[in-house]
Amino acid sequence: MASLIQKMKETAADKLSKVQKPTCELSDVDFKDVTRKNLTLNGVLSIDNPYDHDLPIVTIKYKIFSANREIGSGQLTDPGDIKANGQTKIDLPTTVPYDFLWNLMKDVGSDWDIDYKFEVGAEFKLPIIGKFTIPLSTTGTMKLPTLSDMF
């Protein structure tokens, strides 16, 4: 009896490992808004749904790092569903106060840009499998706006 249950577990695990899962891609980290008090960065998360029904997103947590320090973070709770057999794009806005940028002047001063690392965890509720998190990470460089860009 124990061997039968073990075989059933192995078969179920094998079948579940072959089930297609949603895929995500993080792109377009750029400046969204610049004010006198802070700047807002925006990342775009593209999620592909291989299923023939909409998938609910439970939460999306994200952090932006520069010079090995966290400069901004955010969380979207229940941002909606992912379209069936399609791609859904979600904006991830993050506000960064200017007083924090003063701490990054070594990085900014030489080339007037910010080197960043953007980490995202997208959590879905999948049928049969349950909650499923896709971790993402990307690095890049953002050029800072000049005074002429702001005025």
Burial class, 29, CB count within 10 angstroms (exposed 0-12 / middle 13-18 / buried 19+) = buried
Taking domain 2-150, whether its CATH number is 3.30.1490.20 is answered by no
- Domain ranges (residues) in the chain: 2-150
In angstroms, the CA 43 to CA 122 distance is: 13
Residue-by-residue DSSP string for 49-68 = --SSS-EEEEEEEEEEEETT
Q: Which residues touch 138 (CB under 8 Å, ≥6 apart)?
A: 26, 27, 29, 117, 118
In angstroms, the CA 131 to CA 99 distance is: 38
Write the single-letter amino acid at 32: K
pLDDT in tens, the chain (151 residues): 677 777 776 776 666 566 677 777 777 777 778 777 887 888 888 888 888 888 888 898 988 888 788 888 889 888 888 888 888 888 888 888 777 666 666 556 666 777 788 888 888 877 777 787 888 888 887 776 666 665 6
Of 117, 113, 22, 124, which is closest to residue 80 (Cα–Cα)? 124
Phi-psi group of 117: left, alpha or beta (phi > 0 → left; psi -120 to 50 → alpha; rest → beta) = beta
pTM higher than 0.75, yes or no?
Answer: no
